[in-house]
Structure 1
Amino acid sequence: MSDTFEKPADAVGAAEDPTSPVLRLESVRKTYGKDTVVLRDVDLEVAPHTVTALIGASGSGKSTLLRCVNLLEEIDDGAILLDGEDITDPRIDPDTVRRRIGVVFQAYNLFPHMTVLDNITLAPRRVHGVAKEEAEERARELLERLGLGAKATSYPDRLSGGQQQRAAIVRALAVRPRLLLLDEITAALDPELVGEVLNVVRDLKDEGMTMVLATHEMGFAREVADQVCFLDAGVVRERGTPAELFGAPKEARTQQFLKRIVEAGRL
């Protein structure tokens, strides 16, 4: 997929600097109501062509963090920068920002009344103004690379869960995102289908895609991530390389969490 990650022609923001973070969160805070703090002064940097894995118990803030990055949730304080530009500035058009960010959720969110090909080409054609022929050519190329070439004209209900999730990944890649967010993309899959989706993420890493993924697949995070962040009650309690965080965690809460993961046979 050497051409998969080209910068969109209509992208906004500063020129990309290969030495600067693609994504930076500065003291990001998110609350629901008056008393429920979901993210507490979160700082995070994601370097180009790296994978950052967010781990932690359900309710720790992983999915909310990703939704804030994609501007699906408004933050209450702090800043989120994409290629050096503060995308949480109220003067920024969220739709313009989202053109540079691909997102894959737990649920596949494919339109059931549209073929796989139409699902994938919808955003390139409607949002990015790509000609139908060009959008379909790229979609078919991506489908072929992800083992779905024969499914272009199928409807989602004719695909297995793993195939639907791979189609959702193709849809996210079709707009040539600068950054790809993956939110528990194996959570809704049968165990036997998890591997085929994780193989796609491995390939994307090898090809240089910048990704932030929230996952409960600890072994996979250990294998594929360049940086692992442990979230607990909306706080990044600890971060480091997989070897550091999984092999020698420093914080007591991290140690407790990983001990339970090991006891459950998930690491």
Structure 2
Amino acid sequence: MSEPVLEVSNLRKSYADRVVLADIDLTVLRGDVICLIGSSGSGKSTLLRCVNLLEEIDDGVICFQGQEVSDPRVNRREVRGRLGMVFQSYNLFPHLTVLDNITLAPRKVHGVARAKAESRARELLERIGLAEKATAHPDRLSGGQQQRVALARALATEPALLLLDEITAALDPELVGEVLAIVRDLAADGTTMVLATHEMSFAREIATQVCFLDGGRILERGEPERIFTAPEEERTRQFLRRVLPT
């Protein structure tokens, strides 16, 4: 068995008196594709934000590549430099070109020379089918194109773990497929990912493990075929009856 890329143990997170994550345990091995499913407000996005050190946790331990990154003394910028995250909104810098958006972190955070960073960025743009948009600004792109650029930006630093937070939620239905196709290719290439998604058929297709969150807890987890065809928990069955086509 390969060494874990990510280990989350007994993670707890609250906002005032409201518990949003309770006793979360999660292990991610190299090459895993972990899909987080559950209703809005179940804690999926908060879990990803805690892993990326964008949220302070109340209790528990987060280890990334063998380092306890939940230690408050850790260099968060350095840790995030080894992670990639894509959000629901594209968060591209509107005043920068596509090429500059993708090369910003490699150059400014990792000290990569401009020529090398741009070469890598052009390779990624070719991969996502947007080579001709290198000099365009984000407002000249469709939502699907902007989200593909956001994926390329996250990949530009060659992260050990890619976190995807409902990346199709803000897209028109006809644009969802083009973004999911990129994620599908990444999974096939062995990219280690944890993604929160409402796309059930997609989760069933690409996940190595599905985790159903409810009320801030991982209520059920397992291989996608079992979760989607024979869930053990009644709450999981209720959720899937509501979201799966009849």
1:118 to 100, 115, 120: 100
Determine the C-alpha separation between the residues in 2 that align with 1:85 and 1:118.
31
Q: Where does residue 14 of structure 2 map in the other structure?
A: 31
CA shift for structure 1 position 119: 0.5
Determine the C-alpha separation between the residues in 1 that align with 2:215 and 2:188.
32
TM-score, length-normalised on structure 2? 0.98
Determine the C-alpha separation between the residues in 2 that align with 1:84 and 1:118.
32
Q: Where does residue 176 of structure 1 map in the other structure?
A: 158
TM-score, length-normalised on structure 1? 0.91
Paired residue secondary structure (2:4): coil
Paired residue secondary structure (2:191): coil
Q: Where does residue 237 of structure 1 map in the other structure?
A: 219
Does 1:62 pair with 2:49?
no
CA shift for structure 1 position 91: 1.8
Cα displacement string for residues 119-150 of structure 1 (whole angstroms, at most 9, x for unaligned residues) = 01111111110111110110011101110100
Paired residue secondary structure (1:40): strand
Q: Where does residue 78 of structure 1 map in the other structure?
A: 60
Paired residue secondary structure (1:124): helix
Query: What amino acid sits opposite 2:175 in the alignment?
Result: L
| RMSD, aligned α-carbons | 0.9
- Structure 1 unaligned residues grouped into runs of 5+: 1-17
CA shift for structure 1 position 115: 0.4
Paired residue secondary structure (1:200): helix
Give aligned pairs, total.
Answer: 246
- Structure 2 unaligned residues grouped into runs of 5+: none
CA shift for structure 1 position 114: 0.7
Does 1:44 pair with 2:26?
yes
CA shift for structure 1 position 161: 0.7
Determine the C-alpha separation between the residues in 2 that align with 1:53 and 1:21.
17
Determine the C-alpha separation between the residues in 2 that align with 1:227 and 1:81.
19
Does 1:248 pair with 2:223?
no
Determine the C-alpha separation between the residues in 2 that align with 1:250 and 1:84.
32
Q: Where does residue 157 of structure 1 map in the other structure?
A: 139
Paired residue secondary structure (2:96): coil
Identity of aligned residues (%): 67
Does 1:136 pair with 2:118?
yes
CA shift for structure 1 position 29: 0.2
CA shift for structure 1 position 244: 1.0
